[in-house]
């Protein structure tokens, strides 16, 4: 039996196409991926991301626990600030990629839905000696992402929180339309926007308010094309238990000099000293065809890696992708599309950057 | 409910066939394009290629998914819709018209469904 988010009935009413995603019945699209993608790039879209997991760390050793579990130095976060981080195995492989929110009463770690149980188990296993309460409160929260250049204008109509003063990766406890909510200036689209944590029973009202205010409902299909254009990793594609955050190109979220050390820190330091075996490359397909997850990469006649994500970019109207390739791959390589090599050109990540 | 023109024949894999003498025109149905979503790429064979009935003759890709195209009847490709190289969205906009894919010089007849049987097939799939 698939699980449903508090917004399930809203998706049905909007005629969404629902699919199984991480055990949840989730909207993959409402009207069409391209139109929803475009709405987020040019105006505002709303996504139901209530399937994401919310794990709270409370107690005297909450900070010590989170420090041990994630790659970022969270002691540098101020209360009201969030940071992107990886969770690693001792091997340096990745358990998950997460957002860490520093709250007045502890830490909130937002995890991928598919990894929730595995993460909580990993968190507990590595903190048995600490005085911390690790609480999976995923079912007590709905999460709505409002993304796009018109997001602030739309949301400001419904909240007394001063959004113009809320910087990127900051969050505030407040209300939206009189309903208590945490408003976070974060997202997974490469646009300005907010993620709104609300009580499950309040979520349908908030959802409808934002729709009525002009936000376009957007599904997981658009979420994926948007994040890929923005060069953001997806766990299970760019990151997995055999891939380190350094290989996947998120070293900005890894503080290798942290003390005390996080799980996997020694392995990652060694990787860095000895040189990485793989690196993440952004590419465009030069000829015809679309590269997809799992397609082989060939360079100089030899196998040189694999495509981790690929799609036709709705904004650029080109086939783009990310690939884990050997470190000596430089400007070009070939992607094998259904048995035929197609030329690909390495381009900077992100593929798309919004004007600020 | 998706559009199923009465004068065409169909496959269980959601291709349509228009028969004109021994030449057949092939495309994908309205239901298929709806299921796929925004079509962004169509890979078609070359004129002169031959396929057996049920063999894959190409690929249609939406933003999210890759789907094979299957030859409804065997035969030699006599024409391909070059317009789809530049405008794959024609498959969504006009699946039975400008979104056609290939024309085959048919050799024998495939196991094709009438419009009524295809509608029945769609209803069964929806269950």
pLDDT of residue B110 exceeding 80, the answer is no
Do residue A127 and residue A206 come from a single domain?
no
CATH number at residue A100: 3.30.70.1400
Do residue A67 and residue A191 come from a single domain?
no
pLDDT category at B108 given cuts 50, 70, 90 is confident
Residues of A in contact with B40 (CB under 8 A): 290, 312
CATH number at residue A311: 2.40.30.110
**pLDDT over 70 for what percent of chain A?**
100
Q: Is residue A242 part of a domain?
A: no
pLDDT category at B111 given cuts 50, 70, 90 is confident
Do residue A183 and residue A224 come from a single domain?
yes
Contact between A28 and A17 (Cβ < 8 Å): yes
Mean predicted confidence (pLDDT) in A240-250: 98
Do residue A133 and residue A145 come from a single domain?
no
Do residue A152 and residue A43 come from a single domain?
yes
pLDDT category at A246 given cuts 50, 70, 90 is very high
d(C-alpha A351, C-alpha A171), whole Å: 27
**HEC per residue, B64-116:** CCEEEEECCCCEEEEEECCHHHHCCCHHHHCCCCCCCCEEEEECCCCCCECHH
Do residue A38 and residue A106 come from a single domain?
no
Do residue A39 and residue A95 come from a single domain?
no
Contact between A279 and A271 (Cβ < 8 Å): no
Name the nearest CA neighbour of A32 among B28, B36, B42: B36
Domain ranges for chain B: 12-113
Residues of B in contact with A290 (CB under 8 A): 40-41, 61, 66
Chain-chain contact of B59 with A338 (C-beta, under 8 angstroms)? yes
Last residue of a domain, one of A165, A200, A229: A229
Provide the CATH number for the domain formed by B12-113 in this structure.
2.40.50.100
Q: Are strands A302-313 and A318-325 parallel, antiparallel or unpaired?
A: antiparallel
Q: How many Å lie between the alpha carbon of A88 and the closest alpha carbon of chain B?
A: 29
Residues of A in contact with B87 (CB under 8 A): none
User: How buried is B87 (Cβ within 10 angstroms: 0-12 exposed, 13-18 middle, 19+ buried)?
Assistant: middle
Chain-chain contact of B43 with A289 (C-beta, under 8 angstroms)? yes
A303-325: pLDDT as tens digits: 999 999 999 999 999 999 999 99
Q: Is residue A255 part of a domain?
A: no
Do residue A22 and residue A160 come from a single domain?
yes
pLDDT of residue B109 exceeding 80, the answer is no
Q: How many degrees, rounded to 5, is the angle at CA A44 between CA A187 and CA B66?
A: 75
Query: Which pLDDT belongs to residue A355?
Result: 83
Tell me which residue has tokens 């400007």: A331
Domain that holds residue A309: 278-347
Q: Is residue A265 part of a domain?
A: no
B36-95: pLDDT as tens digits: 999 999 999 999 999 999 999 999 999 888 999 999 999 999 999 999 999 999 999 999
* Per-window interface: A 311-350 vs B, CB < 8 A: 311-312, 314, 319, 338
Contact between A271 and A92 (Cβ < 8 Å): yes
**pLDDT over 70 for what percent of chain B?**
99
Do residue A70 and residue A133 come from a single domain?
yes
Nearest to B37 among A33, A224, A288 (CB): A33
Query: Which pLDDT belongs to residue B1?
Result: 67
**pLDDT over 90 for what percent of chain A?**
98
A134-191: pLDDT as tens digits: 999 999 999 999 999 999 999 999 999 999 999 999 999 999 999 999 999 999 999 9
Do residue A288 and residue A148 come from a single domain?
no
| Residue A33 φ then ψ, to 5° | -60, -45
Q: How many Å lie between the alpha carbon of A353 and the closest alpha carbon of chain B?
A: 20
Instruction: Give the ipTM of the model, two decimals please.
Output: 0.84
Count of the separate structural domains present in chain A: 3
Residue in A closest to B40 by C-alpha: A312
CATH number at residue A21: 3.30.1360.120
Residues of B in contact with A312 (CB under 8 A): 40-41, 61, 63
d(C-alpha A186, C-alpha A52), whole Å: 14
Name the nearest CA neighbour of A67 among A126, A9, A151, A22: A126
Name the nearest CA neighbour of B14 among B4, B28, B1: B28
Residues of B with CB under 8 A from a CB of A: 37-38, 40-41, 43, 59, 61-64, 66, 85
């Amino acid at each position: 039996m698939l699980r449903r988010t508090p917004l399930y009935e809203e998706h049905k009413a909007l005629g969404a196409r629902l699919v199984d995603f991480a055990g949840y019945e989730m909207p993959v699209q409402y009207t069409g991926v391209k139109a929803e993608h475009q709405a987020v790039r040019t105006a505002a879209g709303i996504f139901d991301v209530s399937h994401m997991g919310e794990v709270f760390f409370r107690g005297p050793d909450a900070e010590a626990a989170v420090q041990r579990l994630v790659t970022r130095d969270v002691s540098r976060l101020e209360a009201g600030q969030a940071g992107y981080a990886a969770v690693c195995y001792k091997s340096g492989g990745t358990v998950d990629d997460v957002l860490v929110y520093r709250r007045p009463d502890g830490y909130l770690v937002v995890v991928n839905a598919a990894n929730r149980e595995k993460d909580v188990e990993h968190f507990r296993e590595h903190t048995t000696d600490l005085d911390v309460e690790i609480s999976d409160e995923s079912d007590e929260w709905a999460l709505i992402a409002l993304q796009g250049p018109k997001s602030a204008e739309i949301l400001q109509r419904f909240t007394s929180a001063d959004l113009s003063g809320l910087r990127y990766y900051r969050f505030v406890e407040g209300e939206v339309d009189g309903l208590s909510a945490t408003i976070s200036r974060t997202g997974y689209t490469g646009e300005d926007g907010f993620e709104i944590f609300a009580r499950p029973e309040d979520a349908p009202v908030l959802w409808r308010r934002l729709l009525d205010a002009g936000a376009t409902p957007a599904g997981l299909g658009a979420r994926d094309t948007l994040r890929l254009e923005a060069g953001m990793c997806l766990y299970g594609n760019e990151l997995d238990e055999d891939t380190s955050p350094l290989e996947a190109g998120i070293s900005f979220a890894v503080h290798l000099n942290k003390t005390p050390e996080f799980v996997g820190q020694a392995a990652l330091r060694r990787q860095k000293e000895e040189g990485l075996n793989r690196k993440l490359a952004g590419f465009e397909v030069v000829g015809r065809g679309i590269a997809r997850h799992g397609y082989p990469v060939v360079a100089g006649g030899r196998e040189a890696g694999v495509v981790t994500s690929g799609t036709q970019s709705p904004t650029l109207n080109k086939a783009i992708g990310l690939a884990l390739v050997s470190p000596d791959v430089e400007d070009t390589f070939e992607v094998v599309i259904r048995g035929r090599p197609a030329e690909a050109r390495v381009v900077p990540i992100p593929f798309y950057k919004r004007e600020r | 409910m998706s559009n199923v023109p009465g004068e065409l024949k169909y496959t269980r894999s959601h291709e349509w066939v228009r028969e004109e003498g021994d030449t057949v025109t092939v495309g994908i149905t309205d239901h298929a394009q709806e299921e796929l979503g925004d079509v962004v790429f169509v890979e078609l064979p070359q004129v002169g290629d031959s396929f057996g009935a049920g063999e894959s003759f190409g690929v249609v890709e939406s933003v999210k998914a890759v789907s094979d195209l299957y030859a409804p009847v065997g035969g030699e490709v006599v024409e391909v819709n070059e317009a789809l190289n530049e405008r794959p969205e024609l498959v969504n906009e006009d699946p039975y018209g400008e979104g056609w894919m290939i024309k085959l010089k048919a050799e024998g007849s495939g196991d094709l469904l009438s419009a009524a049987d295809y509608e029945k097939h769609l209803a069964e799939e929806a269950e």
